[in-house]
Structure 1
Amino acid sequence: MGHRVSLVFCILLLPTVAGCRGLQSTLDPAGAEARQVLVLFLVMAVSAALIWLVVAATLLFAIRQKRQVAERAASRLILWGGAFFPTVTVIAVLGYALWLMPGLRPLAATEKSDLRIEVTGRQYWWQVAYHYQGRTIAAANEIRLPVGSRTEIVLKSDDVIHSFWIPSLGGKIDMIPGRENRLSLLAEKEGVFRGACAEFCGTSHALMALTAVAMDPASFGAWLVAEANASSNVGGAGSDAFLRHGCGACHRVMGTQASGTIGPDLSRLGSRQMLAAGTIANTEENIAQFITDPGAIKPGATMPAFSMLPPQDIRAIAAWLKGLR
């Protein structure tokens, strides 16, 4: 009977074990800050378990002994087991957390980062700008950072409070309108990780994801050079339709007359992992669907529907955007 209970218990635990890994797991760190957060979590969990065990043992001892324990002995038991031990443990955990905090803070004035990324939260997407060696490179809904080099991330908001969080790389921090917050991240291994807005910001809050790509330094350097150049495939029927229907008033595409800043920067859109801030896969068909009716994919999106456009124009724009690399 006992073996059966143990087996059932293990089966019930399997889903929780599966959640320990993944693209958005705090229990599978890929960055120095995320690893510190995990260690702090484990220390807090073990401390809480110890406090619970001591208090529960004290209570159980008192129940079993009933009135057989002298009043002085009972007072000492309550003082040490129910008050002193929990207090000392909590203070120790607090001290450890404060000791960790300097490593989680933004870069000090004396420290320098080769790369600074500015991320602005909007309903419901992420505006991204890379500042690297005097150059500024615009992007959206995806950040890339080199493994082994510390990256400074400047966080802003243009509308409501958002919260920037990539669990595998570091802790969360709010993005507050009118205020500039800073975060320092050090990726320790390559991979693609998922971030999210961790503060309810409106109708499509749950559809406001962020892709983070940690790359080896050489590949990252080559990617920066490619990003600094104008997009390829900037001509053709798709480009003409994009500009003719006024898409350039809201969106920017390097190498074209499109210079809008209201919507996401679409330069090199075809090289991105996802569309609509992590909502759908980056395919030509999904691009066409989003152009036709963005509200059906992302409720509350400020982009109007363009279902009135000729189908051949929508297909041409979608194919052109997918080819921007």
Structure 2
Amino acid sequence: MRAAAVCLWLLVLSGCAGIQSPLSPAGEQADALRSLFMLMMIVCGGVYLLVLAGLLWSILRARTCHQTGAGAGAGGDRRLDRGLYTAAGAIVVGLTVLIVGSFIADRALVAAREDDAMIVRVTGHQWWWRIEYRDPASGRWIETANELHLPLGRTARVELASGDVIHSFWVPNVSGKIDMIPGRRNIIDLTPRRLGWFRGQCTEFCGTQHAHMAFDVKVDSQPEFDAWLARQGSGAMAEKQDGHGATIFLRACGSCHTVRGTAATGRAGPDLTHFASRRSIAAGTLPMSRGGIQGWLAQPQALKPGTSMPAVPLLPADADAVATYLETLR
């Protein structure tokens, strides 16, 4: 029995860490929210114990009075009044502590907005993420998709929008969540304090594939981030832009997807210029692999029903050539 209880406790604790947990903060904003959560648990836990203590006392007192046949009397009424005043005072103090804690957390969430933040645009679509960075050299916008890179220790001010329905942006380890509303721009600040990979997720039900609307988040050192952004600003690095796979891709996919440096300039779907450098396919639905690419080309509706990506009617040899070409887009 004890072993089962220990296993259950360890299972519960396993949900308090990982790449998608607000209780394992890796950013200033997430740390402020975790502190507020712990304060709320302490205060509410104390009030809960106080209520249980009052309930237990009232039960024992009623049983004692019943056994002795004595009424409460004036002394009992005074003790009851003192108990009620004490409970009310504890609740007021607890609420005051929560109000002050919430105020401090709110200040921490917006404190970075006075600094020189890096601007990032994120637009939610059914069911993927368009992500844009401003090139510090040219001032133009560099577009990628479904993978957010952030520099360690520097605030990224993320401007959020929606291209269709209401979505919600959340990277639990780094910051809180905020809705993405059509026709409105919301802003959230992310200040990561730990290197590594994390996971973001849409947290507002936005259709049948809401659960498959995730994105990877990579926190890099500033030099690594600068090098990554410079690569993203360049054109496609495919070895053979005039090969058979590239030709088939332009004919079958170029009207929906962009590959900078080629004639593919579509805007309906994600930018694929550096597609193979990402960790996943279709907003976290599949891992990046040759088989995943071929499966997505052949049966996107089977893998992600309702997606706007149509099945591409290609011969097996042509599908393999396109997958080979996409694997070179780094």
* Fold in common (TM above 0.5): yes
**How far does residue 105 in structure 1 lie from its aligned partner after superposition?**
2.9
**How far does residue 106 in structure 1 lie from its aligned partner after superposition?**
7.8
Equivalent-residue separation in structure 1 for 2:112 and 2:256 (angstroms): 34
Q: Which deviates more from structure 2 when the two are superposed, residues 189-198 or residues 127-136?
A: 127-136
SS state at 1:118 partner: strand
Identity, in percent, stands at 39
Q: Which amino acid aligns with 1:200?
A: F
Of the three residues 39, 43, 46, the one matched with 2:42 is: 46
Q: Which amino acid aligns with 2:235?
A: A
Equivalent residue pairs, number: 316
The answer to whether the aligner puts 1:56 opposite 2:52 as a matched pair is yes
Equivalent-residue separation in structure 1 for 2:108 and 2:264 (angstroms): 42
Equivalent-residue separation in structure 2 for 1:311 and 1:11 (angstroms): 49
The answer to whether the aligner puts 1:214 opposite 2:219 as a matched pair is yes
The answer to whether the aligner puts 1:22 opposite 2:18 as a matched pair is yes
SS state at 1:17 partner: helix
Equivalent-residue separation in structure 2 for 1:250 and 1:235 (angstroms): 19
Residue in structure 2 matched with residue 77 of structure 1 by the alignment: 83
The answer to whether the aligner puts 1:11 opposite 2:7 as a matched pair is yes
Equivalent-residue separation in structure 2 for 1:227 and 1:141 (angstroms): 14
Note if contact 1:58-1:78 (Cα within 8 Å) is conserved in structure 2. no
Q: Which amino acid aligns with 1:202?
A: G
Q: Which has the larger radius of gyration?
A: 2
SS state at 1:296 partner: helix
**How far does residue 62 in structure 1 lie from its aligned partner after superposition?**
2.1
**How far does residue 18 in structure 1 lie from its aligned partner after superposition?**
1.2
1:181-238 CA-to-partner distances (Å, cap 9, x unmatched) read 0010101011110110000000100010010000011111111111111111133211
Of the three residues 121, 124, 129, the one matched with 2:127 is: 124
The answer to whether the aligner puts 1:112 opposite 2:108 as a matched pair is no
The answer to whether the aligner puts 1:183 opposite 2:188 as a matched pair is yes
Q: Which amino acid aligns with 1:208?
A: M
Note if contact 2:135-2:233 (Cα within 8 Å) is conserved in structure 1. no
Pairs within 5 Å for 1:113-152:
113=117, 115-133=118-136, 134-152=139-157
Runs of 4+ with >6 A deviation: none
Note if contact 2:112-2:155 (Cα within 8 Å) is conserved in structure 1. no
1:137-185 CA-to-partner distances (Å, cap 9, x unmatched) read 1000111010011111010001000000010111000000000000101
Note if contact 1:116-1:132 (Cα within 8 Å) is conserved in structure 2. no
Residue in structure 1 matched with residue 251 of structure 2 by the alignment: 244
**How far does residue 8 in structure 1 lie from its aligned partner after superposition?**
3.1
Equivalent-residue separation in structure 2 for 1:262 and 1:8 (angstroms): 52
Residue in structure 1 matched with residue 69 of structure 2 by the alignment: none
Equivalent-residue separation in structure 1 for 2:169 and 2:325 (angstroms): 31
Of the three residues 194, 198, 202, the one matched with 2:199 is: 194
Of the three residues 223, 228, 232, the one matched with 2:228 is: 223
Equivalent-residue separation in structure 2 for 1:278 and 1:227 (angstroms): 20
Gaps of 5+ in 1: none
Gaps of 5+ in 2: 66-71
SS state at 2:16 partner: coil
**How far does residue 91 in structure 1 lie from its aligned partner after superposition?**
2.4
CA 1:158/1:70 → structure 2, altered by over 3 Å: closer, same or farther? Answer: same
The answer to whether the aligner puts 1:258 opposite 2:254 as a matched pair is no
**How far does residue 248 in structure 1 lie from its aligned partner after superposition?**
1.1
Q: Which amino acid aligns with 1:319?
A: T
Equivalent-residue separation in structure 2 for 1:256 and 1:124 (angstroms): 26
Equivalent-residue separation in structure 1 for 2:39 and 2:227 (angstroms): 40
**How far does residue 107 in structure 1 lie from its aligned partner after superposition?**
5.1
Q: Which amino acid aligns with 1:56?
A: L
Equivalent-residue separation in structure 2 for 1:200 and 1:244 (angstroms): 35
Equivalent-residue separation in structure 2 for 1:159 and 1:220 (angstroms): 30
TM-score (normalizing by structure 1):
0.94
1:92-126 CA-to-partner distances (Å, cap 9, x unmatched) read 11221112102213854x4321x211000000000
Equivalent-residue separation in structure 2 for 1:190 and 1:107 (angstroms): 19
SS state at 1:203 partner: coil
Note if contact 2:150-2:192 (Cα within 8 Å) is conserved in structure 1. yes
Q: Which amino acid aligns with 1:9?
A: A
Q: Which amino acid aligns with 2:203?
A: A
